[in-house]
């Protein structure tokens, strides 16, 4: 591809003429506020642009084109029907500030989604506004903070996270003005309860965790954890990134959590878009409900209305979060139905345990061999790295050559040379078997021809990229030669 | 079983390989008392056809005539190619481009996007998006407070005033986010001309850490950005410029405001190829001078070389981000608004500088035509861009409600945001509005006002 940019295609005087409105003057703008020189945007024909971006798209891996077993990310099939449903002209043309009186169709959809998510969470209140998991976390921690403040206990500013926590958890706590303390995880992947008991105290605002944990196992003593934190005066936050594992089988509300977020772009199959958008609705127990971010849709006797919770932490966006993603999630949930929802958790777990069993037989080391996998599991290549100098990163890059997206690498941090593998329920057995075959092949290669693995990928549009150079010699924008 | 491909034979073979009797056995580590089923009556799954019918009915319920509301979300033309391309599965169903070699498409699009935003704003660097304009302004404020080392050393209070006519919903979002870090966001008054009145800050010692100004402001009014930028620069206050990117096809880039320009530029990218869609998903952007690049939140793409020395793209400066820096990251943002950035990049490629300028100019012209046709006085005297506040001479909310019942979004009633403007509406006519639609609005408004 040679990295020809759209700017390299540009020629003065060219353009996509059909896209331009009839010329109009804006002569009354004060001259001192106008720009002197036009921005150097591309000047290309419509066909040139179309071809350029079509070809660029083909340089991507995606769910639609490859198996994408990226742990913690739930890369399942994103139903096209949901995309179309959310793209109804009436929804796309709706202005966010249109009065509620002429928005009843949209509000009804949001209300339906709130109800569905409350049920899945096992919690009585839900706000749909957060725009991704991390913003849901932010809402949750801000709510925990506000709740303590409302109890007159403003000294509680420490958030506990298990050692394997996702980076957004500590980053969120810090963004909310809290300090972070890590709690150790024991050999079998569960939180160390003694360490937790030692860590909680008068400063504890709360604990953030996923369950199944980021170790890919169900935290068996989650109710003990909840008791320890609650007894110390703290609250519990559930990071919903791993909810796909237990959808329809267990509810965070029953485990003792006070507030949670969903990742609709994971569990509810909305597309990841090459980085986003997502949606991270937050649910809460009755005592935290008044603190939810607004607005929320309420159903009255004759219509739907926007309401702001009484002690709301406020708005997190100007309008209604990622409304279009919420519609897609609702479309997906409606197609699943209750039965379909339960099967999501079941088959996601079946696929993960099947892959884990097959890889173990193929000679890979599971990080927690005595545990049941949840919807994902971890293998560690530490022994391989020691013996053959082939790292988890090398393995990941080599997988690309086999037409498989790499699993998540080096997360959670405490497992050395790890791959976190999440097949999701929408992959068929043949696809899983092909993945095992690729892994076996690379394992053999790592022993017989480690150089090929170390220098992978070989079949991508580019060879391995120099990240150090990228950071040292910053080139963040195209410039004319 | 929607979307689950397993045949009974597959399931049986897989269970055998695992060595369990049934799927239920795979959940044996979940304590019994935590096992649950959805409450209430079970919902049958809908077929795609049935689901689509329900959505079509609901969407049709909300169908409206012409839209004369802007206020941060604008009804511009979007070339058909934009979403045909952005909806390609290879863009839409890819994850974050962490595996750079398998994500060159997304990465190059972001690099091109960064370039385009730098061209529009005059800044040196741009991130790969934040959630949207309001949350993006919060990130800009947090960034400014982090970045103003002089203020931190001298112990200035963490105060970031906002010009009085910054979008009130952006202000709300910003406050709910930054208050957790003890940052105070007072509002400065706006004057009779609709522009910020900086005299409220005169004599304030020490000066604020940062100052936020929006151009064009929420009232559509053009601020005297040169004076504001110079005011900030003289005092060591960092200037955060919140801008409409489309307006920058015509207006002076924030880098050229006053003698030194703005330090941080943020805004919402919706006018660049994103449908209104109830306000989301859209995307926020954040640009800065070179000196502040390491304080930017969110992802950034850089051009580099591969092992053969060929050019390629990768995420860079990741040591700012949550997955590396954890509690010390510049932000907690992970998932951003990538697909909208893709759409905007394609949109800007198709429109080019000349196209964007024409869209901006046509929108300005249509709004002038609208204000003329409505025949009501303007509330503010300073020049405006493609939005304008007009005075209806009576409480505006019921009038707007009446117009909506007639199938027309006749501006935004300002009372809920500014009590003193309860008789005013903020109106906008983009290049899509026809003279016939403007006439329809004018007639409907005359009708509503004569009741
Ligand atoms: C465990 C976990 N928590 C939180 C997040 C953050 O979610 P988002 O990217 O939607 O902000 C992720 C995302 O990858 C995750 O895997």
Q: What is the pLDDT of residues A238-281, one digit of tens each?
A: 999 999 999 999 999 999 999 999 999 999 999 999 999 999 99
Instruction: Tell whether ligand 1 has an atom less than 6 A from the beta carbon of residue A133.
Output: yes
Residues B341 and B361 both lie in one domain: no
Nearest protein Cα to ligand 1, atom 9: B335
How far, in Å, CA of B88 to CA of B98, rounded? 20
Q: How confident is the model at residue A187 (pLDDT cuts 50, 70, 90)?
A: confident
Residues B416 and B307 both lie in one domain: no
Q: How confident is the model at residue B128 (pLDDT cuts 50, 70, 90)?
A: very high
For residue B362, the domain's CATH number is 3.90.1150.10
C-beta atoms surrounding B305 within 10 Å: 18
Q: Which of B345, B363, B393 is the last residue of a domain?
A: B345
Q: What is the pLDDT of residue A26?
A: 77
| Rounded average pLDDT over B294-317 | 97
Q: What is the pLDDT of residue A97?
A: 98
- Residue B350 near chain A (CB below 8 Å): yes
Q: How confident is the model at residue B203 (pLDDT cuts 50, 70, 90)?
A: confident
Range of the domain at B210: 80-345
| Rounded average pLDDT over B151-158 | 94
ipTM for the complex? Answer: 0.98
- Residue A269 near chain B (CB below 8 Å): yes
| Rounded average pLDDT over B287-313 | 97
Instruction: Tell whether ligand 1 has an atom less than 6 A from the beta carbon of residue A278.
Output: yes
- Residue B32 near chain A (CB below 8 Å): no
- Residue A410 near chain B (CB below 8 Å): no
How far, in Å, CA of B70 to CA of B90, rounded? 32
State how far the alpha carbon of B234 is from the alpha carbons of A369, B162, B207, in Å.
Answer: 64, 18, 10
Q: What is the pLDDT of residue A366?
A: 97
Residues B235 and B88 both lie in one domain: yes
Residue bearing tokens 């926020």? B284
Residues B373 and B330 both lie in one domain: no
Question: Burial level of A360, CB count in 10 A (0-12/13-18/19+)?
Answer: middle
Q: What's the gap in Å between the CA of A441 and the closest CA on chain B?
A: 20
Nearest protein Cα to ligand 1, atom 14: A73
How far, in Å, CA of B243 to CA of B235, rounded? 22
How far, in Å, CA of A58 to CA of A35, rounded? 37
When CB atoms are compared, the residue of A105, A372, A427 closest to B58 is A105
Q: Considering the domain A81-336 in this protein, what is its CATH number? A: 3.40.640.10
Residue bearing tokens 């964007």? B356
CB burial string B39-52: b at 16+ within 10 A, e below: eeeebebbebeebb
Torsion sign (Cα): B426, B429, B430, B433: positive
Domain A338-454 of CATH type 3.30.70.141: no
Q: Contact B3/A79, CB-based, under 8 Å?
A: yes
Domains in chain B: how many in total? 2
Q: Which of B328, B345, B362 is the last residue of a domain?
A: B345
Whether residue B38 is predicted with pLDDT greater than 70 in this model: the reply is: no
Residues B331 and B403 both lie in one domain: no
Domain assignment present for residue B252? The answer is: yes
What's the pLDDT tens digit per position in B163-189?
Answer: 989 999 999 999 999 999 999 999 999
| Rounded average pLDDT over B386-399 | 98
Q: What is the pLDDT of residue B201?
A: 80
Q: What's the gap in Å between the CA of A67 and the closest CA on chain B?
A: 11
| Contact present, B24 and A343 (Cβ < 8 Å) | no
Rounded (to 5) percent helix, strand, coil in chain A: 40, 15, 45
User: Shortest CA distance to A168 belongs to which of A204, A202, A141, A200?
Assistant: A141
* DSSP helix/strand/coil, B438: helix
- Cα angle vertex B147, ends B145, B149, to 5°? 95
Instruction: Tell whether ligand 1 has an atom less than 6 A from the beta carbon of residue A427.
Output: no
Pairing of strands B238-243, B210-215: parallel
Nearest CA in chain A to B361: A26
Whether residue A2 is predicted with pLDDT greater than 60 in this model: the reply is: no
Q: What is the pLDDT of residue A1?
A: 43
Q: Contact A92/B277, CB-based, under 8 Å?
A: yes
| Contact present, A214 and A411 (Cβ < 8 Å) | yes
Instruction: Tell whether ligand 1 has an atom less than 6 A from the beta carbon of residue A214.
Output: yes
What's the pLDDT tens digit per position in B221-268?
Answer: 999 999 999 999 999 999 999 999 999 999 999 999 999 999 999 999
When CB atoms are compared, the residue of A175, A275, A406 closest to B332 is A175
Residues in chain B closer than 8 A to A46 (CB atoms): 79, 81, 350
Residues in chain B closer than 8 A to A349 (CB atoms): 23, 26-27
State how far the alpha carbon of B32 is from the alpha carbons of A219, A399, B221, in Å.
Answer: 13, 39, 63
When CB atoms are compared, the residue of A335, A338, A354 closest to B17 is A354
When CB atoms are compared, the residue of A42, A278, A426 closest to B5 is A426
Residues B138 and B170 both lie in one domain: yes
Question: Burial level of A34, CB count in 10 A (0-12/13-18/19+)?
Answer: exposed
User: Shortest CA distance to A321 belongs to which of A267, A271, A264?
Assistant: A264
Q: What is the pLDDT of residue B41?
A: 81
Whether residue B315 is predicted with pLDDT greater than 80 in this model: the reply is: yes
| Contact present, B278 and A91 (Cβ < 8 Å) | yes
Count of H helices and E strands in chain A?
16, 13
When CB atoms are compared, the residue of B1, B87, B306 closest to A343 is B1
- Residue B285 near chain A (CB below 8 Å): no
When CB atoms are compared, the residue of A222, A278, A350 closest to B335 is A278
Nearest protein Cα to ligand 1, atom 5: A133
Residues in chain B closer than 8 A to A342 (CB atoms): 37-38
What's the pLDDT tens digit per position in A370-385?
Answer: 999 999 999 999 999 9
Q: Contact A475/B30, CB-based, under 8 Å?
A: no
Q: Which of B319, B345, B371 is the last residue of a domain?
A: B345
Instruction: Tell whether ligand 1 has an atom less than 6 A from the beta carbon of residue A72.
Output: yes
Residues B313 and B441 both lie in one domain: no
Nearest protein Cα to ligand 1, atom 8: A133
Whether residue B334 is predicted with pLDDT greater than 60 in this model: the reply is: yes
The per-residue pLDDT of chain B, averaged, comes to: 96
Domain assignment present for residue B4? The answer is: no
Residues B286 and B154 both lie in one domain: yes
- Residue A47 near chain B (CB below 8 Å): no
| Rounded average pLDDT over A122-140 | 98
Domain assignment present for residue B192? The answer is: yes
How far, in Å, CA of B392 to CA of B286, rounded? 37
| Contact present, B208 and B239 (Cβ < 8 Å) | no
Residues B94 and B159 both lie in one domain: yes
Domain assignment present for residue B62? The answer is: no
Residues B163 and B278 both lie in one domain: yes
Domain assignment present for residue B35? The answer is: no
C-beta atoms surrounding A414 within 10 Å: 15
Record the pTM. 0.98
Residues B428 and B320 both lie in one domain: no
Find the A240 Cα to ligand 1 centroid distance in Å. Answer: 8
Strands of B263-355, DSSP E: 264-268, 284-288, 301-305, 311-315
Q: What is the pLDDT of residue A23?
A: 81
Q: What is the pLDDT of residue B355?
A: 97
Residues B268 and B357 both lie in one domain: no
Q: What is the pLDDT of residue A376?
A: 98
* DSSP helix/strand/coil, A419: strand
Find the A383 Cα to ligand 1 centroid distance in Å. Answer: 29
- Residue B53 near chain A (CB below 8 Å): no
What's the pLDDT tens digit per position in B76-88?
Answer: 999 999 999 999 9
Q: What is the pLDDT of residue A293?
A: 98
Find the A133 Cα to ligand 1 centroid distance in Å. Answer: 5
For residue B295, the domain's CATH number is 3.40.640.10
| Rounded average pLDDT over B279-296 | 97
Nearest protein Cα to ligand 1, atom 12: A241
């Amino acid at each position: 591809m040679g990295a020809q940019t759209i700017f390299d295609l540009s020629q003065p005087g060219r353009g996509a003429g059909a896209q331009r409105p009839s010329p109009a003057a804006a002569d009354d703008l004060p001259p001192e506020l106008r720009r002197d020189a036009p921005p150097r945007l591309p000047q290309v024909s419509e066909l040139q642009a179309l071809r350029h971006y079509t070809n660029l798209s083909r340089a991507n891996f995606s769910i639609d084109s490859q198996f994408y077993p990226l742990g913690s990310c739930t890369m399942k099939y994103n139903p096209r029907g949901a995309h179309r449903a959310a793209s109804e002209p009436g929804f796309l043309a709706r202005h966010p500030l249109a009065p509620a009186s002429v928005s009843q169709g949209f509000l009804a959809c949001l209300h339906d989604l709130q109800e569905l998510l409350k049920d899945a969470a096992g919690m009585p209140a839900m706000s749909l506004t957060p725009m991704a998991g991390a913003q849901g976390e932010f809402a949750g921690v801000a709510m925990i903070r506000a709740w303590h403040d409302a109890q007159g206990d403003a000294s509680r500013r420490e958030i506990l996270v298990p050692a394997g926590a996702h980076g957004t958890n500590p980053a969120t706590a810090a963004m909310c003005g809290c300090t972070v303390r890590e709690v150790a995880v024991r050999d079998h992947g569960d939180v160390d309860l003694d360490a937790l008991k030692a860590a909680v105290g008068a400063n504890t605002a709360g604990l953030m965790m996923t369950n199944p944990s980021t170790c890919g196992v169900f935290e068996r003593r989650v109710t003990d954890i909840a008791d320890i934190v609650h007894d110390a005066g703290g609250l519990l936050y559930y990071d919903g990134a791993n909810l796909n594992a237990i959808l329809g089988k267990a509810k965070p509300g029953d485990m003792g959590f006070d507030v949670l977020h969903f990742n609709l772009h994971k569990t509810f199959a909305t597309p990841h878009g090459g980085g986003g958008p997502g949606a991270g609705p937050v649910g809460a127990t009755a005592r935290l409900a008044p603190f939810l971010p607004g607005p929320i849709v309420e159903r009255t006797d004759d219509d739907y209305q926007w309401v702001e919770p009484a002690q709301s932490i406020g708005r997190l966006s100007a309008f209604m979060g990622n409304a279009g993603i919420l519609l897609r999630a609702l479309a997906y949930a409606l197609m699943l139905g209750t039965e379909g929802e339960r099967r999501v958790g079941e088959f996601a777990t079946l696929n993960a345990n099947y892959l884990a069993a097959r890889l173990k037989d193929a000679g890979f080391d599971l990080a927690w061999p005595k545990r049941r996998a949840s919807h994902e599991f971890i293998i560690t290549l530490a022994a391989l790295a020691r013996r053959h100098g082939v790292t988890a990163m090398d393995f990941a890059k080599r997988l690309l050559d086999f037409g498989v997206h790499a699993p998540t690498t080096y997360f959670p941090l405490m497992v050395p040379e790890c791959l976190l593998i999440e097949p999701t329920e929408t992959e068929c057995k043949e696809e899983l078997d092909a993945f095992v075959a690729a892994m076996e092949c690379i394992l053999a290669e790592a022993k017989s021809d480690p150089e090929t693995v170390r220098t992978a990928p070989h079949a991508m549009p580019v060879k391995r990229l120099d990240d150090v150079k990228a950071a040292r010699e910053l080139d963040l924008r195209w410039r004319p030669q | 079983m929607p979307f689950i491909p397993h045949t009974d034979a597959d399931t049986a073979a897989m269970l055998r390989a695992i060595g369990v009797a049934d799927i239920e056995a795979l959940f044996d580590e979940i304590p019994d008392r935590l096992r649950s089923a959805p409450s209430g009556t079970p919902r049958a799954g809908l077929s795609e056809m049935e689901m689509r019918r329900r959505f079509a009915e609901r969407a049709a319920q909300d169908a409206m005539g012409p839209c004369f509301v802007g206020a941060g979300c604008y009804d511009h033309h979007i070339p058909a190619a934009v979403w045909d391309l952005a909806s390609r599965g290879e863009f839409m169903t890819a994850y974050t481009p962490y595996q750079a070699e398998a994500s060159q498409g997304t990465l190059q699009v972001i690099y091109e996007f960064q370039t385009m935003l730098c061209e529009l704003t005059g800044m040196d660097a741009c991130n790969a998006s934040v959630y949207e304009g309001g949350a993006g302004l919060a990130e800009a404020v947090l960034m400014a407070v982090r970045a103003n080392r002089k203020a931190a050393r001298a112990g200035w209070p963490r105060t970031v005033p906002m010009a009085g006519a910054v979008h009130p919903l952006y202000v709300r979002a910003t406050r709910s986010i930054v208050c957790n870090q003890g940052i105070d966001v007072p509002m400065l008054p706006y004057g009779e001309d609709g522009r910020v009145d900086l005299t409220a800050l005169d004599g304030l010692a020490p000066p604020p850490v940062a100052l936020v100004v929006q151009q064009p402001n929420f009232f559509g009014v053009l601020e005297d950005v040169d004076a504001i930028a110079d005011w900030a620069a003289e005092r060591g206050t960092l200037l955060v410029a919140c801008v409409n990117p489309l307006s920058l096809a015509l207006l002076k880039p924030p880098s050229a405001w006053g003698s030194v320009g703005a330090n941080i530029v943020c805004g919402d990218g919706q006018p660049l190829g994103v449908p209104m869609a109830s306000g989301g998903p859209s995307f926020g952007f954040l640009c800065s001078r070179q000196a502040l690049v390491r304080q930017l939140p969110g992802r950034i793409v850089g051009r580099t070389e591969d092992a053969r020395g060929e050019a390629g793209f990768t995420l860079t400066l990741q040591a700012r981000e949550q997955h590396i820096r954890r509690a010390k990251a510049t932000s907690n943002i992970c998932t951003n608004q990538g697909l909208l950035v893709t759409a905007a990049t394609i949109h800007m490629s198709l429109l080019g500088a000349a196209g964007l300028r024409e869209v901006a100019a046509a929108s300005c012209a249509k709004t002038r035509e609208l204000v003329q046709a409505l025949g009501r006085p303007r509330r503010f005297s300073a020049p405006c861009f493609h939005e304008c506040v007009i005075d209806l001479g009576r409480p505006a909310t019921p009038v707007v409600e009446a117009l909506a019942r007639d199938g027309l979004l006749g501006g935004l009633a300002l009372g809920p945001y500014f009590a003193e403007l309860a008789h005013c509406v903020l109106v906008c006519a983009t290049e899509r509005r026809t003279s016939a639609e403007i006439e329809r609005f004018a007639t409907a408004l005359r009708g509503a006002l004569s009741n």
